[in-house]
Amino acid sequence: MRPEIRHLGDRGLLVELGAGIDPTVNNRVQRLHQILARENLYGVVETVPAYGSLLVVYDPLQAAPEALALQIEDLCEFDAADEPEELHRLIEVPVVYGGEDGPDLDAVAAYHGLTDEEVIRLHTGTAYRVYMIGFTPGFPYMGQLPEALDTPRRETPRTHIPKGSVAIAQRQTGIYPVVSPGGWQIIGRTPLELFDPLQNKPSLMVMGDEVRFTSITAEEAAQWPR
């Protein structure tokens, strides 16, 4: 397929491979991300995948952007239907829903006219794709949330969201790996460590992973192996 390539200043090329939150489009992004990692083009510093685009960061003293864009275009001549080269991993994420760990669970349930239990059943009842990691280290943007849980962001963002908070916004769900501000609805908290800079692989999740949430009790969370 022929991508749309835009300049992000004199250090980046944004390669757009499709629109919207769409697994087929995201597969293409992942595919190109993997191809560029393998090709190791001269002057390419790193690539940053997102929902439908891949940012290719280059050293302007080593790579000429016009030529680099043509090289990338050639590397996009893969079958759009092809799956990425690695199998998706399945990661199970235990969550304590509601209470202090999920202060917005009641409001989310009320917004949709559901009980807390129905929200939990819907959230745990779907497998999610990790479309991209961004915002903070290790933060997975996952989708699609069931339509019945499509919830707007909070009117007033919080300034301090505890590490491990599990949140939803519109048709997405995510996990805050480090303490940060944020505007998503917090419905629970996981004892899993999503980001540890001292590990060889600092981020628990990478783009393309598949995630399932399971409901656990606060007692189980307290004893969860770290």
Partner 1 sequence: MAAVDVLEILSPGILASVQDTGRLGFGQIGVAPSGAADAYACRIGNLLVGNLENAAALEITLMGFQARFRCEAVFTITGADLQPSLNGNPIPLWSVLRARPGDILDLPSPVCGCRAYLSVGGGFHIPAVMGSRSTNIGAGFGGHAGRALRAGDLLRGRGPEHHMHFAERSLPDTLKPVYTSDWVLRVLPGPQNDQFSSSGRAQFYATTYMVSGASDRTGVRLDGPAIPKIAGAPDSILSEGILGGAVQVPGDGKPIILMNETVTGGYRKIAVVIAADLPLLGQIAPGDTVRFQETGLSEARELLRGVEAALQWVRKYVSV
Closer residue to partner 1 (CB): 60 or 125: 60
Select the span of 71-79, 92-100, 142-150, 174-182 touching partner 1 (CB under 8 A): 174-182
Q: Which of 202, 205, 210, 162 is nearest to 182 (CA)?
A: 162
Q: Choose which of 109, 166, 186, 207 interacts with partner 1 (CB under 8 A).
A: 207
* Residues 94-153 close enough to bind partner 1 by CB under 8 A: 132-139, 141
- Contacts with partner 1: how many residues (CB under 8 A)? 47
| 26 counts as binding partner 1 under rule CB under 8 A | no
Q: Which residues of 22-41 are buried (b: 16+ CB within 10 A; e: fewer)?
A: eeebbbbbbbbbbbbeeeeb
- Please report how close the Cβ of residue 124 comes to partner 1 at its closest, in angstroms: 25
Q: Which of 186, 179, 180 is nearest to 101 (CA)?
A: 186
Q: Which amino acid is at 179?
A: V
At 33, give phi and psi (nearest 5°).
-55, -45
- Please report how close the Cβ of residue 197 comes to partner 1 at its closest, in angstroms: 4
- Please report how close the Cβ of residue 109 comes to partner 1 at its closest, in angstroms: 27
- Please report how close the Cβ of residue 64 comes to partner 1 at its closest, in angstroms: 8
Q: Choose which of 76, 95, 167, 206 interacts with partner 1 (CB under 8 A).
A: 206
Q: From the CB of residue 223, how many other CB atoms can be counted at a distance below 10 Å? A: 9
Q: Which amino acid is at 189?
A: R
Q: Which residues lie closer than 8 Å to 115 by C-beta, 6 or more apart?
A: 109
Q: Across the chain, which distance is largest between two alpha carbons, in Å?
A: 58
**Strand blocks (E) in the chain:** 4-8, 12-16, 44-49, 53-58, 90-97, 128-133, 140-143, 158-161, 165-169, 172-175, 180-182, 185-189, 210-215
Q: DSSP character for 48?
A: E
If you count them, how many residues does the chain have? 226
Closer residue to partner 1 (CB): 34 or 215: 34
| 41 counts as binding partner 1 under rule CB under 8 A | no
Closer residue to partner 1 (CB): 8 or 127: 8
Closer residue to partner 1 (CB): 97 or 128: 128
Q: Choose which of 10, 77, 155, 219 interacts with partner 1 (CB under 8 A).
A: 10
Closer residue to partner 1 (CB): 125 or 157: 157
| 198 counts as binding partner 1 under rule CB under 8 A | yes
Contact residues: partner 1, CB under 8 A: 6-12, 14, 19-21, 33, 45-55, 57, 60-61, 65-66, 132-139, 141, 178-180, 195, 197-198, 202-203, 206-207
